[in-house]
Chain A
């Protein structure tokens, strides 16, 4: 374990990079700022991923965006020239389905969200109602109006939904309040989401906020920064947390997330965090390793491949 340093955190030396590659069996990557920047893959990343896979390492790509399923995200990766398998993508849509599977859930799910969640639920054989089908439903509130809801719904899953409306909010509220034991699950609570480069967009924090507002209940969060995803990955691979590394560009989410889960952590400076922010006395989050960018690891490729 690298000793934590109180002051300036230097870029990892070759020895440190080899140490990282030796002890870590699984790498979890945040995508934006690590693998790609906007619509372009960071140069050297595909080679680095090949190197890691060649060493027998497992890799996962994490995204809190729930609108697509893992299979749905494949096309984005492929269009960027990245060779990935659907099972290497850990989207929050998958996290929701994986969570329900992990607790042997056998009722129905009411979904506020887009197709990604529905597809992942289908893959796990979990029945669902709601989703995009409720986008055009309206509530008129004539005197005596009564909304029916399915009493077999045992969980409400809330993911990012550009078609959120009052009907869905009310339906979800009825399920949570009236169906005994009904769970409230959120894929994530990010305040903003990056849908385009030019503007920031209200994120799932608002859809989840709406249901918190009407039920006064807090959700079980399955995406970052909750630890479900990390526990799910380590359990499925049979690895200890310190055999897994979280690689990201944000101190307060990625690195903090990794540290809370007991993972090794590596910060890359190819995204939002600058050396100034990292080394500032105000920063209390210290990653185990610092790289300029992920392809820094290529500098020890030969030695690492020999050792592997």
Chain B
């Protein structure tokens, strides 16, 4: 495998009508846009390609992420934005879920669930709540109407929340266990990687001995929803991202094209290592590299 040539890039540009971008490490790093990202997205839109943004981070809602991206210079609407929190909410809506959800997660997750009419217990409201160990018989009461435990990144994780969720999963009839995402780490501040949602999900697997249903990348839900809602064909869709085990694997497992950028967590050495079995269709240093073909796009490039 070698870095994408202009020919590779041109082929991809013409083949794919729907471009699905990861955010962190692909379009931005912390609060700075990757150079060339804005220009390439504008090029795609000029040729009437559909553009989507997908992040596994469940802490901010679609609206908040879209506003952030727009403020940074890349126009984005809520409808083009997918978060793993939105995926969990969309799933519950799709199955006509009508019970309550116990949330291990932050504001964005509660916002998305509430927006589809799911009543939430826990989340930020349980921040700082502790078990009272001074009592003679300490115990945690749970709401019997909780029918799903939904887990995303929660930087206020506590034993109380883990115990509450474990009891729901063990005792509430048919209680579902949904994971927004299972990323081990993320760049929540520019300076360093931080423990991700995978931490909270694995903690709950450890106490409940149950496996969750995954909604975020690399599960198929978001791509299925995106293709169905926006009427795009799977084989005309390409995923662009920096993580092999989420972005690239996601595209491969779901019949979409894949482009790996080296501007985030994956280095060229890791990508080309013998042990790596996840091979994107093309790869490049960063999204700005696509701009080398800007003046080579044939005039008959289909504008849909």
Interface residue ranges, A against B (CB under 8 Å): 139, 141-147, 161-166, 169-170, 173-174, 189, 191-192, 195-216
Map CB proximity to A onto B165-208 as digits: 1 under 8 Å, 0 otherwise. Answer: 01100100000000000101100111110111011111111111
Q: How far is the CA of A150 from the CA of B24 in the complex (A)?
A: 28
How distant is the Cα of A170 from the Cα of B204 in the complex, in angstroms? 17
Instruction: Contact check, A213 vs B184: say whether CB atoms are below 8 A apart.
Output: yes
**B274 near A: Cβ within 8 Å?**
no
Tell whether, in the assembled complex, residue A143 and residue B159 are in contact, meaning their CB atoms are under 8 Å apart. Answer: no
Whether the pair A173, B185 counts as a contact (CB closer than 8 A) is: yes
Nearest A residue to B245, CB-CB: A216
- Taken together as a complex, chains A and B put the C-alpha atoms of A197 and B139 apart, in Å, by 10
B31 lies within 8 A of chain A by Cβ:
yes
Contacts of B200 in A (CB 8 A): 210, 213
A166 contacts B155, CB within 8 Å? yes
Known: A210-B206, A213-B182. A198 touches B139 (CB 8 A): yes
B131 interfacial contact with A, CB 8 Å: yes
For A160, the closest partner residue in chain B by CB is B159
A105 to B202, CA, bound (A): 29
In this complex, which of B131, B195, B209 has the most chain A Cβ atoms within 10 angstroms of its Cβ?
B195
Q: Least Cβ distance of B94 to chain A in Å?
A: 27
Select from chain B the residue with minimum beta-carbon distance to A216.
Answer: B184
Q: Are A143 and B189 in contact (CB under 8 A)?
A: yes
> Contacts A166-B195, A169-B157 hold; do A141 and B189 have CB atoms under 8 A apart?
yes
A-B pairs with beta carbons under 8 Å apart, 13 shown: A139-B155, A141-B189, A143-B30, A144-B189, A144-B191, A146-B191, A162-B131, A162-B159, A198-B137, A199-B167, A207-B203, A211-B199, A214-B196
Q: Which residues of B contact A163 (CB under 8 A)?
A: 159
- Which 7 pairs between the two chains have the least Cβ-Cβ distance? A209-B206, A213-B202, A205-B206, A202-B207, A206-B207, A214-B195, A210-B203
Given contacts A139-B155, A205-B206, A210-B203, contact A169 B195 (CB under 8 A): yes
B: number of interface residues (CB 8 Å): 42
Q: Which residues of A contact B46 (CB under 8 A)?
A: none
A202 to B208, alpha carbons, bound, how many Å? 8
Tell me, yes or no, whether B140 is within 8 Å of chain A by CB.
Answer: yes
Closest to A208 in B: B206
A196-B185 in contact given A139-B155, A146-B192 (Cβ < 8 Å) = no
Which B259-293 residues sit within 8 Å CB-CB of chain A?
none
A216 to B245 alpha-carbon distance, docked (Å): 12
CB closest chain-B residue, reference A196 = B137
**Which residue on B lies nearest to A142, using beta carbons?**
B189
**CB neighbors of A among B138-177 (8 A):** 138-140, 154-159, 162-163, 166-167, 170
Query: Given A166-B155, A173-B185, A202-B163, are A191 and B206 neighbors across the interface (CB < 8 Å)?
Result: yes
Chain A residue nearest in CB terms to B158: A165
CB distance from A192 to the nearest CB of B (A): 7
Q: What residue of chain B has the Cβ atom nearest to residue A163's Cβ?
A: B159
B207 lies within 8 A of A214 (CB): no
Closest to B204 in A: A206
How long is the Cα–Cα vector from A211 to B191 in the complex, in angstroms? Answer: 21
Which residue in chain A gives the minimum CB-CB distance to B135? A196
Taken together as a complex, chains A and B put the C-alpha atoms of A174 and B189 apart, in Å, by 14
Interfacial chain B residues near A144, Cβ < 8 Å: 30, 189-191
From 113 to 137 in chain B, residues with beta carbon under 8 angstroms from any chain A beta carbon are: 131, 133, 137
List B contacts of A206 (CB < 8 A).
162, 166, 203-204, 206-207
| Complex partner residue of A213 from B31, B158, B194, B201, CB under 8 angstroms | B201
Contact B195 A173 (CB under 8 A): yes
Cα–Cα distance between A165 and B191 once the two chains are bound (Å): 21
Chain A nearest Cβ from B191, distance in angstroms: 4
Residues of chain A within 8 A (CB-CB) of B170 are: 200
Question: Among the listed B159, B191, B202, which residue makes an inter-chain contact with A209, where contact means beta carbons less than 8 Å apart?
Answer: B202
- CB neighbors of A among B20-67 (8 A): 30-31
CA distance A203 to B190 in the complex (A): 34
Which residue of A146, A197, A198, A208 contacts B189 across the interface (Cβ within 8 Å)? A146
Report chain A residues within 8 Å CB of B167: 199-200
Nearest chain B CB to A55's CB is how many angstroms away? 40
Given contacts A161-B159, A202-B162, A206-B166, contact A214 B185 (CB under 8 A): yes
* A209 proximity list for chain B (CB < 8 A): 202-207
